Amino acid sequence: MRKVLPLPWERAGERVALLLLAFVFSPLAMANGLDAFLAFNSSTKTATADFEQQAFDRAGKAVDHSSGRFAFARPDRFRWAYEKPHQQVLVADGTRLWIYDPDLQQVTVKRIDRAISSTPAALLAGKDDITKLFTLRDAGTRDGLEWVEATPKAKDTGFERVRLGMQAKSLAAMELFDQLGGHTLLRFSNMKSNVTLPPDTFRFTPPKGADVIDEDAAAKR
């Protein structure tokens, strides 16, 4: 039976995921991870990178591993593609989030404001002042990285906190802790910041024959 991909920012049992990044700092020396992250948040407009994702249960046991590639462009546009061990694609076009599962031949559509507001995605690709959505604090050094902890101010995000690991001029890792005691670790590589992306990077057309579930339309019925 195929394993369902764990989703970093949504509640346990849901199947989607997202996230991203890399960035270019100003040439000034950064005092800590929080300064570095705030510089990233204000300066990075686009980025691409590869990612490795591991999910852990509340006992700390690894329960899933996946990898892929992502791209984002502020505000609210990204492509998050799982490549191994199973394919799944998430595309946000600035208005809607499209989630495509090739194995199930199913596309789920969400309004982008409902999909990423006050989620880890808002830390990276959102358009709002980050301090309006999250309480940020420097979280010290671990594993050679400078860490920042972000706690959502909203109550219904499905996760408790996010930790971002900064190294030199890039975001090297991200940890997401859910409300059930589990957590997801993402490590980034081959990051390129403020790159020019093809116009169709954030466009998605449902494949012929795919079952399309529009959650916004369903909610209006």
The ranges assigned to domains in the chain are 33-82+111-199
* DSSP element (H, E) containing 34: helix 33-43
Q: Is 160 exposed, middle or buried (0-12, 13-18, 19+ CB in 10 A)?
A: middle
At 178-220, the pLDDT tens digits run 888 999 999 999 988 899 999 899 999 999 999 999 987 655 5
Place of tokens 């880890």: 120
Q: Is 4 exposed, middle or buried (0-12, 13-18, 19+ CB in 10 A)?
A: middle
Query: From the CB of residue 131, how many other CB atoms can be counted at a distance below 10 Å?
Result: 12
Write the DSSP symbol of residue 207.
Answer: P
> Is this prediction's pTM over 0.85?
no
CATH of domain 33-82+111-199: 2.50.20.10
At 105-150, the pLDDT tens digits run 999 999 987 776 556 666 677 665 678 878 999 999 999 999 999 8
